[in-house]
Chain A
Amino acid sequence: RKEVEQDPGPFNVPEGATVAFNCTYSNSASQSFFWYRQDCRKEPKLLMSVYSSGNEDGRFTAQLNRASQYISLLIRDSKLSDSATYLCVVNGRVEYGNKLVFGAGTILRVKS
């Protein structure tokens, strides 16, 4: 089983739609959770961290469910510029550095 699993998509949505992605992780000892965004052929960049109480940044809301070991990302009022691959990231073994494990990514395509 992969440490971090995501639905690869693609999710094809119209502008203005609300879309949600889920991600599951296998290491119950994981402490850090993130969503990164990757544009085509570019390096990944942090979209937002995910905190236990859930957190929001503008149109983006992230939730963490430790009991079920999944995190989610909700995007409201989708924009064309939101089209990208969204990577779920979890830290792996914590005893030696903050080793980040990436999911394979979920592709989002927002269409006009």
Chain B
Amino acid sequence: NAGVTQTPKFQVLKTGQSMTLQCAQDMNHNSMYWYRQDPGMGLRLIYYSASEGTTDKGEVPNGYNVSRLNKREFSLRLESAAPSQTSVYFCASSDGRPNTEAFFGQGTRLTVV
């Protein structure tokens, strides 16, 4: 059972470079999310998508863009990476109903130098 798959698992970027983090889920979930986790800060929501074709900003969207390509895939793009974007990024999905569990990918550890 794949669940939520994120790629890559690790990445080092130079300041100013761009990259796209990929996320795919095979649970037919409507809602998908991108979080970042920094020490002492918990998980902070970057963007989310309640359904295919829709996206909305979360708590910390600046410097990021997203694309809900289809129901399965939700990508996160850093157009011009900055050291402040060094973090662990988690993608998650849920069926979008209240009281239902969100499932997480294994995370992407990104370092911007």
Q: Which of A13-52 contact B (CB under 8 A)?
A: 31-32, 34, 41-46, 49
> How far is the CB of B93 from the nearest CB of chain A, in Å?
11
Q: Is the interface of A mostly helix, strand, loop or mixed?
A: loop
B107 touches A94 (CB 8 A): no
Contacts of B56 in A (CB 8 A): 96-97
> How far is the CB of B87 from the nearest CB of chain A, in Å?
13
Docked Cα-Cα span, A34 to B71, in Å, equals 25
Docked Cα-Cα span, A46 to B100, in Å, equals 10
B42 touches A98 (CB 8 A): no
B96 touches A101 (CB 8 A): no
**A78 contacts partner chain B, Cβ-Cβ < 8 Å:** no
Docked Cα-Cα span, A102 to B100, in Å, equals 15
Closest residue of chain A to B30, judged by CB?
A97
Q: Which of A53-112 contact B (CB under 8 A)?
A: 87, 89, 91, 94, 96-105
> How far is the CB of B50 from the nearest CB of chain A, in Å?
3
Q: Given A32-B99, A94-B98, A100-B33, answer yes or no on A43-B105 (Cβ-Cβ < 8 Å).
A: yes
Docked Cα-Cα span, A108 to B92, in Å, equals 24
Contacts of B102 in A (CB 8 A): 46, 89, 98, 100
B40 touches A102 (CB 8 A): no
A102 touches B50 (CB 8 A): no
Cβ 8 A contact of A98, one of B40, B97, B105, B107: B97
Contacts of A101 in B (CB 8 A): 45
Docked Cα-Cα span, A101 to B33, in Å, equals 11
Contacts of A32 in B (CB 8 A): 98-100
Closest residue of chain B to A100, judged by CB?
B102
- Per-residue A-contact encoding for B27-62, CB less than 8 Å = 1, 0 else: 000110101000011111100111100001010000
B40 touches A44 (CB 8 A): no
